[in-house]
Amino acid sequence: MAAMQLAGCTGSGVPEAETSLGHAIGFSAVVADGGTRSAGDGELTTSLLRATGFGVYCWYTGSASFTTPATSRPDDAVYLLLMRNQKVEWDGDASQWTYAPARYWPMDPNERLTFRAYAPYVSYPLVSDAAGMPQLPVVVAATDFHNGTQHDPLWGTGTSGTPHRYGTLYDDYTYGMSGDGLTADAADGTIHWYFHHGMAKLVFRAILADDAADDDLVVTALRLSPLYTDGLLDISSPTASASEKPRWTDCSGDMEIELTRAGGDILTGVVLDKVTPQSILPAGVLIIPRVFGGTPLTVSIDYEAGGVAQTASAQLSPHLPAATVSGNTVYTYDLILDPSANHISVRVTVNLYWQVGSYNRIDDL
């Protein structure tokens, strides 16, 4: 709290809320999903974000460019933490994002602020990396995948001309930039957050192989392994181009998840045919991104065909470039089942920016 009080004093160049005649820092926020998907258990949408709120970090650096907290700088350099995990909440009555205490743009148009944000809000300060920048801890349990509490950590950027897809980080912003129409990202002193999904989303569908017998086939269970159990999402991850993905560090753990029809995880009433891949889960599976090297990502399916229960497995990661599952990306796996051979063939479609269908689609792999 002391750091925030210091950052608000008149000697810092950032005026006190009570005495300032400057412009208050405002926020807006949307989840950058483009409206091309349906929310599933645990996935954050803009409307759900309003229920959870988001956290903001803000640094004041005077007229100097922003450097990370651990970077050496001249002894007389001004470097103050103005917001440290500040909670921003949605006020439904006023239809706007609010926070307290209010913070203000510097009166001097040459003085700069730098912002970072993440969601959903957590009440504790984030972990700092070696450079002193905040990282969001994510811990996942196997039970999270079938009780409606999947984790969907987000980090925020601005927009670089393609809303809901990617944008630049808010470094070295001034009220002169925000108030005189030079940039749409901070018009009228408002920082407009576009939140991106840090996790990878796996969607599973199933279809009968062309040469399979025409037995009625239903999926009764799906197991997936190995998955990380924890990691740190870098909320300074860039997204200035499609090639840039959320950065994760200190990822560890191995677990298997099991989703069953008896437990309500597998869609009921789905009978496979040879024409159209059928969704077998009501929502996607959100996982911490991972490079699957010597231990491939593997799916195992329990199914019944012609009244006979069988189990078949397939490796998923070898079908991806560099055997990598990346964040902010959707992987739609079509599992092609042949009960007579008890075999699964795999086809995967990759879509960037958490979108599906024809949006930002990479060729089938």
Average pLDDT rounded to a whole number, residues 104-108 = 86
Residues 144 and 288 in one domain: no
Number of domains in the chain: 2
The encoded tokens of residue 231 equal 């990691």
Residues 175 and 217 in one domain: no
Q: Is the CB of residue 169 less than 8 Å from the CB of residue 133? A: no
Residues 312 and 193 in one domain: no
The encoded tokens of residue 350 equal 């990759």
Residues 184 and 278 in one domain: no
**Of 151, 166, 197, which residue sits at a domain end?**
197
H-helix or E-strand containing 348?
Answer: strand 343-352
Residues 235 and 141 in one domain: no
Residues 97 and 215 in one domain: no
Range of the domain at 248: 200-362
Give how far Cα 163 sits from Cα of 35, 193, 239, 351, Å. 11, 10, 12, 16
The encoded tokens of residue 38 equal 């349906």
**Which pLDDT value is given to residue 319?**
84
Residues 82 and 212 in one domain: no
The CATH number of the domain where 248 resides is what?
2.60.40.2630
**Of 154, 169, 197, which residue sits at a domain end?**
197
Residues 290 and 268 in one domain: yes
pLDDT averaged over the chain? 83
**Which pLDDT value is given to residue 75?**
73
On the question of a cis peptide bond just before residue 226, with omega within 30 degrees of 0, the verdict is yes
More confident residue, 176 or 201: 201
CA distance 123 to 86: 9
H-helix or E-strand containing 249?
Answer: strand 248-252
**Tens digit of pLDDT for each residue in 44-62?**
888 889 999 999 999 999 9
Strand-strand pairing, 190-197 and 26-31: parallel
The encoded tokens of residue 51 equal 């229920």
Pick from 40-54, 149-163, 233-247, 302-316 the range whose average pLDDT is largest.
302-316
Percent of the chain with pLDDT over 70: 82
**Which pLDDT value is given to residue 327?**
93
Q: Which DSSP string corresponds to 312-340? A: EEEE-GGGSGGGEE-TTEEEEEEEEEETT
Q: Is the pLDDT of residue 329 over 70?
A: yes
In this structure, of 117-121, 190-194, 285-289, 350-354, the range with the lowest mean pLDDT score is 350-354
Give how far Cα 210 sits from Cα of 87, 167, 219, 331, Å. 54, 44, 18, 23
Percent of the chain with pLDDT over 90: 46
Residues 136 and 6 in one domain: yes
Q: Is the pLDDT of residue 164 over 70?
A: no
Residues 295 and 186 in one domain: no
Q: Which DSSP string corresponds to 151-162? A: ---EEEE--SSS
Within the chain, residue ranges assigned H as helices are 2-7, 46-52, 175-179
Residues 212 and 173 in one domain: no
**Tens digit of pLDDT for each residue in 185-232?**
455 788 989 899 999 999 999 999 988 877 778 899 999 999 999 999
**pLDDT band at residue 7 using 50, 70 and 90 as cut-offs:** very low
More confident residue, 117 or 267: 117
3-state SS assignment for residue 126: coil
**Which pLDDT value is given to residue 359?**
52
In this structure, of 25-39, 172-186, 312-326, 340-354, the range with the lowest mean pLDDT score is 172-186
Q: Find how far residue 274's CA is from the centre of its chain.
A: 34
**Of 197, 213, 229, which residue sits at a domain end?**
197
Residues 248 and 336 in one domain: yes
More confident residue, 362 or 82: 82
